[in-house]
Amino acid sequence: MQYLIKNIFKMTEKKYILFFLLFSPIFFNYFFRLLPREERNLSLYNPDIINLFLGLLFFSYLFFIGLQIKKSLNLSNISVAIVLYLLSFFIFDTYFLFITRYFDLVYLFFIINLLWLFLFLYKGEVRNSDLILFLLAVFMFREIGFQYFINNFELSPLTYTVPDETDVWLPATKNIYENNYFIGQEKQTSHSGYGLLISYVNSISTYIFSKSTLYTYFPFIKNVFYFLTLFFIYEIKGTKKTKFFLSILLTVVILNSHWFRYLFFNSLMMESGISYFFGVIMYTFTKSKNLFEQRLLSLLLGFLYFGKQFIAGIALLFLIFLFYKKRINLLSFMLGMSGFIMSIINALFLKVHLTWINYFRYFTTPSTGEKTYNFENFYNVIQQFLIDKPITYLLFGFLILFLLNYKENYSENRESILIIVFNTVLVFLLYVFIWGSENSPAHIGSSYRYLLNIFHLLIPIFIYTLDNFRISKSK
């Protein structure tokens, strides 16, 4: 017995060494600058540091709300409760757009929050004293604290890195925030028909802190997804050591990669938001045994149709797959498809753009006879992704560990892996056969975002792979 324990200890020790050696270049790069990166400014007066602090406060707000929703509705985890809270405003607005179009968004913001408050009081899961202190703290910070920060620091960026931010997402968010969702759709000129879920969540999140009637973009609204991602890692089933290491590793990767950090945690396009929503919902779906929760998850998943490419289509296709396999009943399926159905109804009766109509036009526009495919874009997309070396190395390292126990890792995460592969294939098909005539660096650059829209779906796979590598028998 002692001999066996000793051998197991030696085996585990060797695996830890291999584990750290595999990912050590990412740590060395950050501390010893093996690859070029921007200078660090750790001053407390640095707007990035202040936005990060405000993002932590925003996370605290969402954590408290999510905890109460989890208790009140008996949900599996706090992360999915946070997703429900953030999407609840948009879901309500989509269902009742024929009424809400006459009111500014700020009124809906307070109405939905009041409904959540009534639920908490009705369920009695939160003590009145805690609720009063929470509401008082939020009110005081909104009235005094946040005003201090915006009056003394330049928290909003003066320029934007990606043209889509200024051309599409900034005007869309501004129209929703200063008016309402209906006006946001009605005034959508550039990229008409884009799903506006991210702009809507941006607007609602800003209302929590800002009293201004004019929209201003604050990066801390996106920084919060860094903290939400770390908390999601914490809630995933796995060993504490693995989750701690993954949190540290992900943090160092974020610090190493300016491009990944910007797109996922600073950009107005909020790739991290859609990725987070999708990852949390899908993970909870695989673990949930509660019928009520499954119906709720179907509803949330279906409303990701209003999100980003290609999550919108994948979400609906996965619902169809679940219904076909009889893993959800008819009511759950109809709840999931209700967002898509309401999009059609609102387009017909309220004359707003049908969501993603811009993509449907590619299949209805008569052919001009010009070549639309371009196989060079296959290599262009790969080269674009490989520019971000920290992320490339992270995924390469996990691929090696995944292949070491391929059968077990694939069996446990089969559906998620197939979705990731499907999303990747769709991106290449888009750039080779539909956008083949477009091969400018700016256009090809968007492929990086589309490929990483499923990043949070990878996190449970990472954790399972790392745990499986640590505890599996040596071969």
The model's confidence at residue 389, banded by pLDDT at 50, 70 and 90, is confident
H/E run at residue 192 = none
178 domain residue, yes or no: yes
Tokens 């070396």 belong to: 389
> What is the model's pLDDT at position 475?
41
pLDDT of 31 above 70: no
How far, CA to CA in Å, does 161 sit from each of 99, 266, 370? 37, 10, 32
325 domain residue, yes or no: yes
> What is the model's pLDDT at position 376?
85
pLDDT of 254 above 70: yes
474 domain residue, yes or no: no
Long-range contacts, 363-371 (Cβ 8 Å, 24+) = 370/437, 371/436, 371/437
155 domain residue, yes or no: yes
Tokens 């802190």 belong to: 209
The top-scoring range by mean pLDDT among 76-85, 143-152, 387-396 is: 76-85
> What is the model's pLDDT at position 330?
96
Put residue 74 in one of left, alpha, beta given phi > 0 → left and psi -120 to 50 → alpha. Answer: left
The model's confidence at residue 15, banded by pLDDT at 50, 70 and 90, is low
The model's confidence at residue 455, banded by pLDDT at 50, 70 and 90, is very high
How far, CA to CA in Å, does 413 sit from each of 323, 388, 402, 409, 460? 20, 26, 11, 6, 8
By CB atoms closer than 10 A (0-12, 13-18, 19+), residue 396 is exposed
**Cα–Cα distance for residue pair 60/83, rounded to 1 Å:** 14
CA count, 13 A, side-chain hemisphere, 388:
26
Q: What is the pLDDT of the chain when averaged over all its residues? A: 86
Contacts of 199 (CB under 8 A, 6+ apart): 169, 172, 173, 176, 184
> What is the model's pLDDT at position 441?
63
pLDDT in tens, 62-99: 999 999 999 999 999 999 999 999 999 999 999 999 99
Using DSSP's 3-state secondary structure scheme, residue 112 falls into: helix
**CA-closest candidate to residue 259, choices 441, 391, 453:** 391
Q: Are 458 and 424 in contact (CB under 8 A)?
A: no
Mean pLDDT of 300-316: 93
Does residue 442 or residue 49 have the better pLDDT?
49
pLDDT in tens, 414-435: 999 999 999 999 999 888 887 7
Does residue 70 or residue 157 have the better pLDDT?
70
> What is the model's pLDDT at position 440?
65
pLDDT of 208 above 80: yes
Mean pLDDT of 295-308: 95
pLDDT in tens, 373-382: 788 888 888 9
Radius of gyration of the chain, Cα coordinates, nearest whole angstrom: 23
* Number of compact structural domains in the chain: 1
Mean pLDDT of 129-145: 88
442 domain residue, yes or no: no
183 domain residue, yes or no: yes
Provide the residue range defining the domain that includes 285: 50-364
412 domain residue, yes or no: no
Range in 13-22, 221-230, 287-296 with the lowest mean pLDDT: 13-22
pLDDT in tens, 325-361: 999 999 999 999 999 999 999 999 998 888 887 766 6
331 is written with which tokens? Answer: 């009511």
Mean pLDDT of 251-273: 84
Does residue 405 or residue 3 have the better pLDDT?
405
By CB atoms closer than 10 A (0-12, 13-18, 19+), residue 314 is buried
Does residue 25 or residue 14 have the better pLDDT?
25
468 domain residue, yes or no: no
**CA-closest candidate to residue 472, choices 386, 382, 419, 405:** 405
pLDDT of 4 above 60: no
What length does the chain have? Answer: 475
Tokens 């990606």 belong to: 162
pLDDT of 36 above 90: no
Range in 29-43, 200-214, 397-411, 429-443 with the lowest mean pLDDT: 29-43
Tokens 């501004």 belong to: 174
**Cα–Cα distance for residue pair 268/197, rounded to 1 Å:** 12
H/E run at residue 6 = helix 2-32
Range in 44-48, 198-202, 259-263 with the lowest mean pLDDT: 44-48
The model's confidence at residue 2, banded by pLDDT at 50, 70 and 90, is very low
The model's confidence at residue 439, banded by pLDDT at 50, 70 and 90, is low
